[in-house]
Structure 1
Amino acid sequence: MSGSLNITAATVDPALLDLPWSLPLETWPEDTIAALPKGISRHLVRFVNLSGYVVAIKETSAELARKEYDMLRNLQRLDIPCVDPLAVITNRTTDTGEPLESVLVTRHLRFSLPYRAVYSQSLRPETATRLVDALAVLLVRLHIVGFFWGDVSLSNTLFRRDAGAFAAYLVDAETGKLYSGLSNGQRENDLEIARVNMAGELLDLQAGGRLDDDIDPVEISNGIVARYRTLWKELTASEEFDQSERWRIHQRVERLNELGFDIEELAIKTDESGTQVRIQPKVVDAGHHSRRLLRLTGLDAQENQARRLLNDLDSYRATFEKQDLDEEVVSHEWAARVFEPVIQAIPKELRGKLEPAEIFHQLLDHRWYLAQNESRDIPLAEAVSSYIENVLQHRRDEATMIDPPTGTYTLPTPVIDASDWRSKV
C-alpha cells in the first residue's frame, strides 16, 4: 500500500488496507479476484474476496466516486433496493508515485445476477416479462422518492430470484439525482431512456445468439412503458367516487397491497355537497408495520396483521381530520375507541379462538365482503355481529361450547358518537 491513501467509509474493514491499491485494478493478482458474472459497465469493475464476503470495486474519478457513494447511502435511507456502499478510496498512487484512479467499493449482492447471466439461461418469454416488471417496479419506487436515474438500463441493475419472479436492485447511481419530486417530463425522460437502452441490450444478446428465439427485444422493451404507467397510476393517482361507494377506499388499498406496496396515509376529502369522495394514497414499502404498530399502540402483531390495523388507524385519522395531531395520541385514541371495543364485543367464550389482532383483521375482511355483496357501507356493529355468528363461532371443527350465543352484539362504550365512524368517510 502506498503512502497517503484516503479512505472514506462509515465503518472500515481493516482487510481493505491489505488490498493492492498501488496497482491498477486491471492488473490485480488472480488470487484476490472472485469469479462472479459481471454486467457491462463504462468503468472497470472487478469482484474481490474480502473478509469472507465479496466486494465490487469500480475505478472512476474521485468526484464521481464520492457522489455515487453519497447517493447510494441516501437511497438506502429511503429503503430503495440498491447495493450497499462501503468505501471511497482516493489518492491512490503506484510504487513509483504515478497517480491512479479513485475507486468506489460496494458489497456484492448475494444471489444476484446481471441481466446477461439471466438471459443466457434461455428463459421463456413470460420469464423475460417478469424481469421487465421487476425493473419497472424499481423505477417507480425511485421516482416516488424523487430520484432521477438518467441511465436506466438492465446493465445498471442486478436481479434476484423471488418466488417465481424477480426483484431488481439499483447498481449504478453515478448519473442519478435526488429531487423533492419529479416532473412528468423527468419521469418520461427516464422511461424513454429505459426503453431504448433495454431494446439495445436485448438486441445485442440476440445478435450473439444468447436470446430465446421467441423473445422479441422491441416488444419486451416496450413492455416496461406499459407496466410502469399502470403502476404509477395505481400508486399515485387520486380517485373520486360517490359517497355511497365508500367501500371502494378499502378496494384501492387492497389493490396497492397486491402490488407489493402499503399505505402510510390516506388523504380523504368530500366535495362541498358531500356527495363525492376523493382519496389520495401515500405509498410506502412493506417491512416496518409490526414495529410501528407496537410503538404507536403497544399492540404486538404479525406483519400482515399490523399492516391491516395500521391501514384502519390511518383511515381513522383521515376521517376525523386528525393528521396534524400527535400520532401517538391519535393511535391510543383509535385503540381505545375502535380496536378495544371490537375485541370487547366478542363473547368471552369465543375470544380464545384467535389472537385479538387476527380477530380484528378477519373482521375487516368480513366487513369488506359484506359491503361488496350488498353494495353498501356496513356499520361496524353490524359487521361484528355477522362475523361472530357466521365466522368466528365456526372457526374450529371441535365445539368448545354448547349452543354458543349468536345474538346481535353492540359495541361497548366508548363509542364514537351514535353513528358508525366509518359512515363519515
Structure 2
Amino acid sequence: MTLQITTNRPDPALLDLPWSLPLEEWPEHHLAALPRGISRHVVRFVRLSGGVIAVKEIKTDLARREYEMLRNLRRLDQPSVEPFGVVSGRVDADGNELDGCLLTRHLKFSLPYRALFSQGLRPGTETRLIDALAVLLVRLHLSGFWWGDVSLSNTLFRRDAGSFAAHLVDAETGELFPALSDGQRAHDLDIARVNIAGELMDLQAGELLDEDIDPVEISNRIVTRYEELWLELHETEEFDTGERWRVEERIRRLNSVGFDVDELAITTDVGGTRITIQPKVVDAGHHSRRLLRLTGLDVGEGQARRLLNDLDSYRAAADRQNDDEEFVAHDWLTRVYEPITRRVPRELSGKLEPAELFHEVLEHRWYMAEREQQDVPIERAIEDYVASILPTKPDEKAVVGVDTVEMPVIAG
C-alpha cells in the first residue's frame, strides 16, 4: 500500500511523522501534552510546524466521512473543530495494514470537560456547561445536523466572558439533512440526557463533582434549556398595533441568548388591529459579528457582548455619541483594549486568550471599585490583576496539561 495524505493545507512536515507506527506507540518528542478527553479511539496531540494538530486513529472510510462532515459544518459556520486532513494507506514495518487517521487543528484555549473539573471550578460549573451544550445543539439542529452522539466528551469548551462556549469535536456519527424532524431532534436530546448523566456520575465517583449534585437532574437540564431556546426562536407572538415596541423586545431576547434575527415574518389581521411576529431566519453571533466589523477582533459571543459594552461606555465617557461608530471603535481598540492586553508578561500569555483576559480585568476593576468605593482606572486594575490573579490561573494554551484519560473513570 502507498501512504496517502489528503489535506486542504499541505504541510511537508506531515511526512516526518511516524505513520508506520500505531498511534499509541508514537515517540514522546512528537507529542504535545495537552489535556485529552475520553474517546473510543486513540487520540494524540502532535506538534506540527509550530502548531498543534489532533490525530485520531480510526478506520479510513470513517476518517474520510468525518473529515467531509467537519468541512461541511465549517462551511455552515457551525462551532466545530477545523478539519486538517486524512491519512490512509498506513502499514507497519512488517507490512501489516494500520487504521487511517483523521487530522484536526487543535482549538486553542479549549478544554475537555474533565480537565475543567480537575481545576476545581466554582459551584454551578456543571450547569453552565450544559447551557453551552444546549446552545450548540440548537445551532446544529437549525443547520440540519443530527449529531447522534451528543455528550460532554464529544465537546470542547472555551471560556466566554465568564461563561462557556461549546464546540463540536466528534462528528463521526453525525448526518446532515435539509431539515430535522421533531423525532430526530428528540432522539438527539435523549442521547444527550443519558450520556451526560453517565459522565457526571463518573465525575462524582472520581470526586471531581460535589456528591450533593444529582447527575440525573443536571442532565435533564439539557432538555429544558434546549426547549426554551427552540421555543424562543420559533414561537409566534401576537400583540396589538399599539405595542410595536415588542418587536424590538423580541429581537433583544433572541440576541441575549446568542442568536441574531435576519428576517421577521410580520402579519396583521383583517382589521389591522393585531400583529403576529415570528422569526424566519435566525443565526448566532450577533455581537461577535458587530465587534468583528468594528474592530477586527474575532472572539466569542459573550466576550464580544462584554467588549461592546466597554466600547459603549468609552463612547459615552468621551461624549462621542454623535461620532462615527467605526472611528470611536478604532480609538477604543488602540487606546484601551490593545494597551491593556499587551500588559501581560510573556511568561503569562498562555493563561487566557486576550478577549477573556480583558473581560476578567473589567470584572477585577469592578470588584476593586466596590471595595474602595471609588472609580478605579483600568491601568491600575490590569496591574493588580497581573500581580495577584493571573499567575494563579491554569495555563489553557500551553502544551503542558493534565491528561484526563488518566483520571479514574467508573464504568457505567
Normalised by the length of structure 2, the TM-score is 0.69
Q: Who is 1:35 aligned against?
A: 33
Letter in 2 for 1:82: S
Q: Who is 1:354 aligned against?
A: 322
* Matches for 1:14-413 after TM superposition, within 5 Å: 14-281=12-279, 282-286=281-285, 287-289=288-290, 354-355=322-323
With over 3 angstroms needed to count, the CA separation of the structure-2 counterparts of 1:210 and 1:73, relative to structure 1, is same
| CA distance in 1 between partners of 2:258 and 2:250 (Å) | 13
Shift of 1:157: 0.3
Residue aligned with 2:276, SS:
strand
Shift of 1:355: 2.4
Q: Who is 1:325 aligned against?
A: none
Deviations 1:335-362 (A, max 9, x none): xxxxxxxxxxxxxxxx98612569xxxx
| CA distance in 1 between partners of 2:201 and 2:293 (Å) | 46
Which segments of structure 1 move beyond 6 Å, counting only runs of 4 or more? Answer: 290-293
Aligned residues: 302
Shift of 1:180: 1.0
| CA distance in 1 between partners of 2:290 and 2:210 (Å) | 42
Residue aligned with 2:124, SS:
helix
| CA distance in 1 between partners of 2:151 and 2:163 (Å) | 19
Shift of 1:283: 1.1
| CA distance in 2 between partners of 1:292 and 1:353 (Å) | 18
Q: Who is 2:341 aligned against?
A: none
| CA distance in 2 between partners of 1:288 and 1:123 (Å) | 30
Question: What are structure 1's unaligned runs of at least 5 residues?
Answer: 294-302, 308-350, 359-425
Letter in 2 for 1:46: R
Larger Rg: 1
Normalised by the length of structure 1, the TM-score is 0.67
Deviations 1:34-68 (A, max 9, x none): 11111111111111111111111001111111111
Q: In percent, how many aligned pairs have the same letter?
A: 63
Question: What are structure 2's unaligned runs of at least 5 residues?
Answer: 295-303, 309-318, 327-412
Letter in 1 for 2:129: L
| CA distance in 2 between partners of 1:261 and 1:352 (Å) | 28
| CA distance in 2 between partners of 1:290 and 1:205 (Å) | 37
| CA distance in 2 between partners of 1:42 and 1:141 (Å) | 25
Shift of 1:183: 0.9
With over 3 angstroms needed to count, the CA separation of the structure-2 counterparts of 1:95 and 1:354, relative to structure 1, is same
| CA distance in 2 between partners of 1:292 and 1:357 (Å) | 11
The structure showing larger relative contact order (alpha-carbon pairs under 8 Å, at least 6 residues apart) is 2
Deviations 1:161-198 (A, max 9, x none): 12211111100000001111111111111111111100
